[in-house]
Structure 1
C-alpha cells in the first residue's frame, strides 16, 4: 500500500490555525492601526449561527467586516463568535472555521482563500453577500493579494 502526504489538508489546517491566532490576538488586544478584516463564510455550513433575517438575506454566503464596531469576540479551536452592528442593530454570529471561505486584511494586502468543490455561480460576483457598516462603506480599499506559497520558496 502506498502512502502519501495530504498537503492540501495540511495547508487548510495551517491557514485556519493562522486565522485563529490572529483573531485570538484581536480578542485580547484589539485591532492595531489600520488593520481590519473581510471574512466570507458559507451560511449553510453546520455550526453557523446567524439571525433568521440574515440567513434569509444571505442564504449561501456572507461577508462580514471586522473594523470599527464589534463586541464579544470569542475564539475557540472550532471557530469564533462575535457581535456586529447591522444598521444599528447588534447581532451575534457564530462562525466555525470550516465555514470560512476567505479571510482578507486589505490594510496589508493579505488574503487567504479556501477552495471548495461546490463553488456556486454566485462566486462570479465578488460583492455578493457583503455586509458593511456605513463608516466602512465610505472607506476605499485595495483588493488584497491571495498568498501563494511560491512567494516564500527560495
Structure 2
C-alpha cells in the first residue's frame, strides 16, 4: 500500500480539498488539478453534473460557471475493479490501495497538524466519521463479515465531501 495515497485521503478529510479542489472550485480549476480520463454526466435540467473519474467523483452545480458542490473517493469500487487505481496512478502518481482500513486511515489522519475533530454517527451497517469543519465524511463498513474479495469489517467504504 502506498502511504502517499493514504496521506492524501487523510489530508482531504482535514482540509476538505482533494488535489486542491474543494467546494466552490470552478470546472477550470478541476480540469487543471486533475488530468485523468473522465465521464461527465449532466442531469436532464442541465443544472448539475457529476464528473466521474472511476472511483473518484466530483459534483458540480451550474451557476454562471460550473462550480464544485461536493465529491467522493469511492474506495469500495477498488475491491473488485482495482484496475481503476492503475489508471489513476498513471495520471496522478498516487497509488490507492485495493482495501483501506479505518485504523490505517485514522493513524495517518492523526499525524496531520491540528486535525479537525470527528463526530461518530452509527448508521448500522456503516459508521460515519464526520469532520464538520471541513464537510468531509468517512463511511466505514460496520458489518461483522471478514474481507473475502469484498470489503470486510472496518474497511473504508468512501470518503465524501459535501
| TM-score, scaled relative to structure 2 | 0.29
| TM-score, scaled relative to structure 1 | 0.30
